[in-house]
Structure 1
Amino acid sequence: MTGSSGGRDGRAAVAVGGLWRIATFRAAFFLCLWLVLAGVNPADLPAAAAAIAAATWTSLHLLEPSRSRRSVTAMARLALLFLYQSVVAGVDVARRALDPRLPLRPGLVVYPTGLSRGMRRNVFTTLTSLLPGTVPTGEENGQIVYHCLDIEQPVVAELAAEEAALVRALYND
């Protein structure tokens, strides 16, 4: 029997196999999410199957699988950095709100991001919007404008550290 195991058809088979692996992973994620939110009830199986299939299909079309590898170590560091900064910033905001001797110096800070417009920048602004004390408010000349509770703090340096950690964790192409 003669046949080619390589070439164009072999690459297509690998690509399809990789797509099935990613689809299976995402379906398993949506199944876990369903179980956490709705619990285990055999009567819900048809609805769960339909919801998981629809969510998986939608995720594959809206967030196409990429060939880049995600760094688990970098993602863990990003999560720890985010948790640390959330706690520190939350305590700082609470102190400033409760202690009248600590002045608030609100204002706008322009951050010159290196991320292109689109999904990458949206992920970054979403992540930074969750940190207490800073809120992205828009763009100016391609840069992100943040409202801060204290403009004398090293906001730009902290945002740069967040951006670098995000790039290391998610976008190692």
Structure 2
Amino acid sequence: MTGPSGDQDARAGITNVGMWSRAVSRAAMFLCLWLVLAGARPADIPAAAAAVVAATWASLYLLKPSASRRSPVAIARLAVLFLYHSIVAGWDVARRALDPRLPLHPGFVAYPTRLPHGVRRNVFTTLTSLLPGTVPTGERNGHILYHCLDVDQPVLADLAAEEAALVRALYNE
């Protein structure tokens, strides 16, 4: 598939077959999203087709496919780690909220991420924003600032584990 970066994609190791494969998989995801949001009515087929084609083209143009492979095993490990941290942190937050005798030591920690600015860092901060007890609040000196309910907890170690799992799962590094 040639597009806005056809020659660059070929140099990056993405063949025309790979581009078509990625386009088809993205189109299938957009079609599923359409079906979930709008339902499956025959009268909507022209609008659905136009929306799927436009969304697929836009996604290929704005988020170029890469030659890296996703690891299903690492993605499953990331999901389990995220679920574990969500349950443990959620339980801890609920316990602290319901028992005023438990100490809170709110504050900020600066996490020195290895991820470059852009999509990778945004995915990481989005993932970690879903964990109870910590919220990314900005950046300072290349570090991501997190507001934490208890800075005495191993927040930096937990963030490092999440980052490592994310990199293994999505970026195959």
Q: Secondary structure at the match of 1:137?
A: strand
Distance in 1, Cα, partners of 2:132 & 2:162? 14
Distance in 2, Cα, partners of 1:64 & 1:80? 28
Q: Secondary structure at the match of 2:89?
A: helix
* Post-superposition CA distance 1:114-136 (Å, at most 9, x none): 11111111111111011110001
* Post-superposition CA distance 1:136-159 (Å, at most 9, x none): 111111011100000000000000
1:111 equivalent to 2:111? Answer: yes
Distance in 1, Cα, partners of 2:151 & 2:107? 6
Structure 1 moving runs of 4+ over 3 Å: none
Distance in 1, Cα, partners of 2:103 & 2:62? 44
Distance in 2, Cα, partners of 1:80 & 1:37? 27
1:93-132 matched pairs, under 5 angstroms: 93-132=93-132
Identify which range, 78-87 or 65-74, moves more after superposition. 78-87
* Post-superposition CA distance 1:51-85 (Å, at most 9, x none): 11111111111111000011000001101111111
Distance in 2, Cα, partners of 1:17 & 1:111? 40
Q: Who is 2:151 aligned against?
A: 151
Distance in 2, Cα, partners of 1:63 & 1:32? 19
1:49 equivalent to 2:24? Answer: no
Q: Who is 1:20 aligned against?
A: 20
Paired residues, what number? 163
1:2-21 matched pairs, under 5 angstroms: 15-21=15-21
Segments of structure 1 that go 5 or more residues without pairing to the other structure are 1-7
Alignment root-mean-square deviation, CA:
1.5
Provide the TM-score with structure 2 as the length reference: 0.90
Distance in 1, Cα, partners of 2:87 & 2:135? 16
Q: Who is 2:161 aligned against?
A: 161
Distance in 1, Cα, partners of 2:37 & 2:91? 31
Q: Who is 2:73 aligned against?
A: 73
Deviation at 1:103, TM superposition (A): 1.6
Q: Percent identity?
A: 73
- Which has more radius of gyration? 1
Deviation at 1:18, TM superposition (A): 1.3
Segments of structure 2 that go 5 or more residues without pairing to the other structure are 1-6
1:142 equivalent to 2:142? Answer: yes
Q: Who is 1:62 aligned against?
A: 62
